[in-house]
Amino acid sequence: MSGDAIIAQNLIYSYGQLLAVDDISFKVAEGEILGFLGPNGAGKSTTVKMLTGQLQPKGGQATLLGIDVARNPEKVQGNIGVCFELPNLYEQMSAEENLDLFARLFGIRSFDTDALLERVGLAGREHGRVEGYSKGMKQRLMMARALVNRPSILFLDEPTEGLDPMSSETIRNIILQERERGATVFLTTHDMMEADKLSDRVAFIDNGKIVVLDTPHNLKQQYGKRALKVEVARPDGGLESHEVILDKPETAGDVQGLFSKERVVTVHSEEASLEDIFIEITGRGLVG
Amino acid sequence: MNWQIVRALITKDFKLYFRNRFFALITVLALVMYIVIYFVMPQTVDETLEMAVYAPVLPPILEQAGSPGLELVLMESEEQLKEAVTDGEYLAGVVVPPDLMDKLMSGEKGQLDVYFSTDTPEELQDSITVLLEEMAYLQTGQMSSVHISPEVLGRDMVGIQIPMRDRLLPMLAVVILMMEMLGLASLISSEVVGRTVQALLITPMTIRGLFAAKLIMGVSLAFVQVLLFMAVTGGLNQQPLIIILALLLGAIMVTGIGFLVASGSKEMTTVMAWGMPAMIILSVPAFGVLAPGTVSDWVRAVPSYYLVDAVHQAVNFNAGWSDIWDNLLILLGFDIVFVWLGITVLGRKLR
């Protein structure tokens, strides 16, 4: 094994004439969280489907944990966990039955359902039918299902979209715990804040191509505006905003001047968000 | 193929099937209903005498004949008469030669050909023969003035007439099988629409394992029900092995058709939209058993004909392997075709 959990080499997929994924290559290291960002129709889901063995690439190769996905999808699927965007649970069955079923599909004989359900905050609800669960509870159960086989790689598709803060926090904590355990996480999301908080690196995909792949920090360094926003009190009681550009010879003097001459109320660093960077690179937003 | 995975899927499918209130209820209720229908059907046959007559020159005695319980219907030709009797439209048919009256008047012995349907009871055959001799005596005033040569058209059913409810058995068996086909199709389409099948397909489970589980589940659900029905109604009293094999092949066939219906369906409404026409078409051969002569030879093109005919022959005529093997072989052929077609079309949709 190379130390890379996921290797995508020149992956291509098309639906008829529509080129959905256009010759993309990237690697994800073991224990890394990669945020995979892009607008609807950019090729995110198709890429995930090729990586998880649901689609055969029309070109290129996907290797997970050193195994060629196209040649041995079942072996790969035994080592991954997938959490889908929309709930696809057996709603007439209980949480316990859902997890037991998937444990058996993974060939796991002894499995502590209660411990896993407690981890996702569903302890005490294990016997109730899933159809009576809230959206947040279903999403947490989906997360639990993805963890049944203690996967080496986790594929998460919008895991916190539309969830209440408590459910979102539970899921974020689990993602970080999984990374601590050594799992690789492939996180597909629209939520830039979430990607920023969780991802070691982010990849932007647009029109089937990866347009940038780097750490959020590096991207902000490269594309962001390094500046301070200083608000000072005016004599009439209002606030006045000043922008101090960093990395200039006169920056220190400007800051000092403001503090000595004005009554400074707030100072904020102005940092570009991943959304700003995506717009700057692709010329369009992530949603839509 | 990993059989532990297949077993887990089958357990899950049965659980889901019986947790669907509609299917759980309809499965139990329908079975009870079919058994009740069987037992409320007449156990005895209707022996009202309807007799076809072909007589280019109608003897005066026949012109005056006709009483409650006896109905004479004139045919245009001997061929038409034979066809009508063979199809079971009439219990008996008499061919009166044009020179009968001349022979009787000259003291010669006349000849009457009498044809009986396979369903005509033996006692009735005797009664008809006596009735015709009585008519000839009334006409001539002499005993033994006619020679009557009787012939049973088709299989001779003397002593083994089929009550309506036994005729109904093949139809009820087909309907039970088809109902389970609808249940299976609905279960599969709800898995596709609910995308649970997508979750299954990213586990080590293979598509072959998935189909093996669905096939076993579909066949056993249909087979056990129809077997239970046949056992309760006494349908397994003779030739049980042949009937069990025929029903098993029938259950496999409807499972294949269930895959096809599921591949074109999105929910219960579309399952019914595809399933009902299939159910009606596959029930047609059973009408031929219920009312002989109502369907033509084209019914042999309907795959369920070979199931219906095998069950009918075995249950109602005690037919053995030598009579039915060809039906079973053709049924097996249809099984292979429908299962292969169902797996191919549905498999494409699932992938």
Q: Which residues in chain B are closer than 8 Å to A91, comparing Cβ atoms?
A: 194
Q: Last residue of a domain, which of B90, B118, B152?
A: B152
Nearest to A84 among B2, B9, B199 (CB): B199
CATH code, domain carrying B87: 3.40.1710.10
What is the separation of C-alpha B74 from the centre of its chain, rounded to a whole number of angstroms? 30
In a domain, B119, yes or no: yes
Phi, psi angle pair for A227, to nearest 5°? -155, 165
B349 touches chain A (CB under 8 A): no
B303 and B337 in a common domain: yes
Where are chain A's structural domains? 4-215, 225-270
Q: Say yes or no: B194 and B103 in one domain.
A: no
Q: Is residue B70 less than 8 Å (CB to CB) from chain A?
A: no
CA atoms of A36 and A205, how far apart (whole Å): 7
Domain A4-215 coded CATH 3.20.20.70: no
What's this model's pTM, rounded to 2 decimal places? 0.74
Does B166 lie in the same domain as B147? no
- List, as ranges, residues 140-159 from A with C-beta within 8 Å of B: 145
B129 close contact with A: CB closer than 8 A: no
In a domain, B157, yes or no: no
**Taking 60 as the threshold, does the pLDDT of residue B178 lie above it?**
yes
Q: Which of B120, B152, B184 is the last residue of a domain?
A: B152
Q: Do A237 and A71 touch, CB atoms closer than 8 A?
A: no
Q: Are residues B269 and B325 in the same domain?
A: yes
Q: Read off the pLDDT of residues A4-14 as tens digits, 9 standing for 90 and up.
A: 999 999 999 99
- Has residue B16 been placed in a domain? yes
Number of A–B residue contacts, CB under 8 Å: 62
Bridge-based pairing state of the strands A18-29 and B49-54:
unpaired
Contact at CB, A90 and B203, closer than 8 angstroms: no
Interface contact flag, A104 B4, Cβ < 8 Å:
yes
Query: For the segment B87-127, what is each residue's pLDDT rounded down to a tens digit?
Result: 777 878 988 888 888 887 787 888 888 998 876 767 778 88
Q: Mean pLDDT, to the nearest integer, of A54-82?
A: 93
Q: Which residue has the tokens 């139809």?
A: B171
User: Is residue B173 included in any domain, yes or no?
Assistant: yes
**A135-147 helix and A95-105 helix, angle to the nearest 10 degrees:** 20
Per-residue model confidence (pLDDT) at position B225? 92
Give the Cα separation of B180 and B28 in Å (integer).
Answer: 11
> Of the given ranges (A30-39, A46-55, A159-168), which has the lowest mean pLDDT?
A159-168
Residue B156, both tokens:
């001779």
d(CA B189, CA B191): 5
Set of chain B residues whose Cβ sits within 8 Å of the Cβ of A106: 203-204
| A202: Cβ contacts below 8 Å, ≥ 6 apart | A34, A35, A36, A37, A195, A196, A213, A214, A215, A216, A219, A274
Same domain, B234 and B331: yes
Token representation of residue A257: 């001047």
Q: Please give the tally of structural domains in chain B.
A: 2
Q: What's the pLDDT tens digit per position in B231-289?
A: 999 888 889 999 999 999 999 999 999 999 999 888 778 888 888 888 888 888 888 77
Tokens of A46: 């198709």
| pLDDT (0 to 100) of residue A1 | 41
Tens digits of residue pLDDT in A250-275: 888 888 888 888 888 998 877 777 88
Tens digits of residue pLDDT in B200-223: 999 998 889 999 999 999 999 999
Q: Give the range of the structural domain holding residue B134, as residue numbers without chain letter.
A: 49-152
From chain B residues 1-20, the ones with a CB under 8 A of any chain A CB are 2, 4-5, 8-9, 12, 15-16, 19-20
B317 pLDDT higher than 50: yes
- The predicted complex's ipTM stands at 0.82
Note whether B270 and B299 are same-domain residues: yes
pLDDT in tens, A207-233: 899 999 999 988 888 877 778 888 998
pLDDT at A164 over 50: yes
